[in-house]
């Protein structure tokens, strides 16, 4: 099967902008979760993981002129995409014609929420923001900043969006439709989904505690991350240094409930098994699992049981959830956590699962508390499970 290489990636989350800041936070066990700074919500008591820059600051960092209408989601995307393209040695307005596949659900909603009451008045100043509300437009604004993309696609499957974007990009390379696919996602916080998750009572009023017996919910975060995927032929032609391989991936439907996971993690078992099969790997070959690990009572039990079913009760590899650092970045989680998993693999360390104290008795394994891996990290797995039972697993391998 056609090999797919990762030749670049970029990331921006509550841990900071870029892979260097991200790595530093992971090594220093520094979480990005804290009180709300930018989003004007009445739920100011809920811990969230906002990017530590205002929208104006993001605009400066992205190099987008003041007059240009743009959304926070797109600005984050532009910054993360810039780092990915730079790492892969792809210039703006290039002749390589890559495709861009981006996951988002909120899109430009954060602006629309702020300005829609003003849009209802005779004041026309904010009317244009309605044009940036759409998810597809968010992707367009990110792509147009750099130019040169052959095709754009926007995926919206909730918390598995960015992971599914990776699957789509990989499949496009495998079927010869493109030789370079830039994949990932971007999502900023909005009142709409903060209120929504709050009404589902799955937000923790404290910083989240994935895989802890006292866990009480998730913390929402915002972020963007993109990966540049390339065919072997493209890597050779461009003479670029590949960073790792996309070894395999799988998507399956849990088919249990709209928002909750099945008690034994059936969908997760299917997606992990599919990914392993496609990668031609045995469960014992996986050296680290970056779990979906939201910190909700339901997910961590369900995913924990699924991990035991796939890897064997006594042979679950090191597992951690980095949502204790970045919060749950929803549509961007799949790519944010893929980048973190790859960073862990390339730098041979295990991201520690923050805020863990109390073991979950029904699970045979405990999350990572020591950065030092028991053996060199050669293969990493990352899970992203979306509402609708949309479960995705990706595996990356060292070259």
Partner 1 sequence: MKKITAYCRITDRQVILNGKEPDIAFSGEPGSSRLTEIYRYLDAGYPKFHKMDNLSKAGFLASEMVLRALDYDRETPDGSTSVVFANKSASLDDDKRFQATINPDNYYPSPSVFVYTLPNIVTGEVAIRNKIHGETSFFILEDFDAEKMHTFIEWAFSSPGINRVLCGWTEYLDNHCDVLVMMVEKESPKGMDYNILNINQLYLN
Partner 2 sequence: MEELILELKKQIIEALNLEDITPDDIDTNAPLFVEGLGLDSIDALELIVLMEKNYGIKLEDPGKSKEIFKSVATMAEYIEKNRTK
79 alpha-carbon distance from chain centroid: 15
Does residue 45 touch partner 2 according to CB under 8 A? no
- Of 5, 3, 11, the C-alpha closest to 229 is 5
Residues 173-192 that bind partner 1 (CB under 8 A): 174-175, 191-192
Residue among 45, 201, 357, 372 that touches partner 1 (CB under 8 A): 201
Residue 204 tokens read as 């923790």
Residue for token pair 């496609």: 278
User: Which range of residues in 11-19, 30-38, 238-246, 263-271 is near partner 1 by CB under 8 A?
Assistant: 263-271
Pairing assessment for the beta strands 244-253 and 390-397 based on DSSP bridges? antiparallel
The DSSP secondary structure of 56-77, one letter per residue, reads: HHHHHHHT--TTS---HHHHHH
328: annotated active-site residue: yes
CA distance 4 to 17: 26
292: annotated active-site residue: yes
Given the residues 48, 135, 138, 159, select the one marked as catalytic.
Answer: 159
Nearer to partner 2, 259 or 273 (CB): 259
60: annotated active-site residue: no
CA distance 238 to 70: 33
Given the residues 135, 193, 292, 394, select the one marked as catalytic.
Answer: 292
Size of the site for partner 2 (CB under 8 A): 7
- Of 220, 161, 156, the C-alpha closest to 191 is 220
The DSSP secondary structure of 6-18, one letter per residue, reads: EEEEEEEETTEES
* Residues 274-303, mask of contacts with partner 1 (x by CB under 8 A): x--xx-------------------------
- Of 204, 197, 203, 170, the C-alpha closest to 184 is 170
* Residues 295-334, mask of contacts with partner 2 (x by CB under 8 A): ----------------------------------------
CA distance 249 to 265: 17
Does residue 201 touch partner 2 according to CB under 8 A? yes
Residue among 2, 128, 150, 171 that touches partner 1 (CB under 8 A): 171
Nearer to partner 1, 191 or 398 (CB): 191
Q: Note the residues at the interface with partner 1 (CB under 8 A).
A: 105, 135-136, 153-158, 164, 168, 171-172, 174-175, 191-193, 195-201, 251-259, 266-267, 270, 274, 277-278, 386-390
């Amino acid at each position: 099967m056609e090999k797919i290489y990762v030749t670049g990636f970029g990331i921006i989350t509550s841990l900071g902008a870029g892979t260097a800041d991200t790595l530093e936070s992971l090594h220093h066990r520094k979480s990005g979760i804290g009180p709300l700074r930018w989003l004007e919500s009445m739920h100011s008591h809920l811990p969230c993981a906002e990017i530590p820059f205002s929208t104006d600051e993001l605009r400066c960092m992205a190099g987008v002129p003041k007059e240009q209408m743009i959304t926070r989601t797109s600005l984050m995307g532009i910054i993360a995409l810039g780092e990915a393209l730079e790492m892969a040695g792809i210039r703006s307005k290039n002749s390589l014609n890559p495709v861009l596949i981006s996951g988002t659900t909120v899109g430009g909603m954060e602006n629309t929420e702020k300005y829609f009451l003003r849009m209802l008045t005779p004041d026309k100043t904010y009317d244009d923001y309605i044009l940036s509300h759409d998810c597809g437009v968010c992707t367009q604004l990110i792509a147009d900043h750099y130019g040169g993309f052959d095709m754009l696609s926007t995926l919206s499957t909730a918390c598995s969006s960015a992971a599914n974007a990776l699957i789509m990009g990989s499949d496009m390379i495998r079927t010869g439709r493109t030789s370079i696919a830039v994949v990932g996602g971007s999502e900023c916080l909005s009142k709409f989904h903060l209120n929504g998750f709050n009404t589902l009572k799955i937000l923790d009023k404290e910083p989240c505690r994935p895989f802890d017996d006292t866990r009480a919910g998730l913390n929402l975060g915002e972020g963007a991350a993109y990966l540049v995927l390339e065919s072997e032929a493209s890597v050779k032609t461009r003479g670029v240094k590949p960073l790792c391989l996309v070894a395999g991936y799988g998507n399956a439907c849990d088919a249990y409930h709209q928002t909750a996971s099945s008690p034994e993690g059936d969908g997760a078992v299917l997606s992990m098994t599919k990914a392993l099969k496609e990668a031609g790997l045995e469960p014992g070959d996986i050296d680290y699992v970056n779990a979906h690990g939201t910190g909700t009572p339901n997910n961590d039990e369900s995913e924990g049981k699924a991990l035991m079913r796939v890897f064997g009760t006594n042979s679950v590899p090191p597992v951690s959830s980095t949502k204790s650092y970045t919060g749950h970045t929803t549509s961007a989680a799949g790519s944010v956590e893929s980048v973190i998993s790859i960073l862990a693999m390339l730098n041979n360390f295990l991201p520690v699962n923050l805020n863990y104290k109390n073991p979950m008795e029904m699970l045979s394994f405990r999350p990572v508390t020591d950065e030092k891996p028991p053996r060199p990290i050669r293969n990493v797995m990352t899970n992203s499970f979306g509402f609708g039972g949309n479960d995705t697993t990706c595996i990356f391998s060292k070259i």
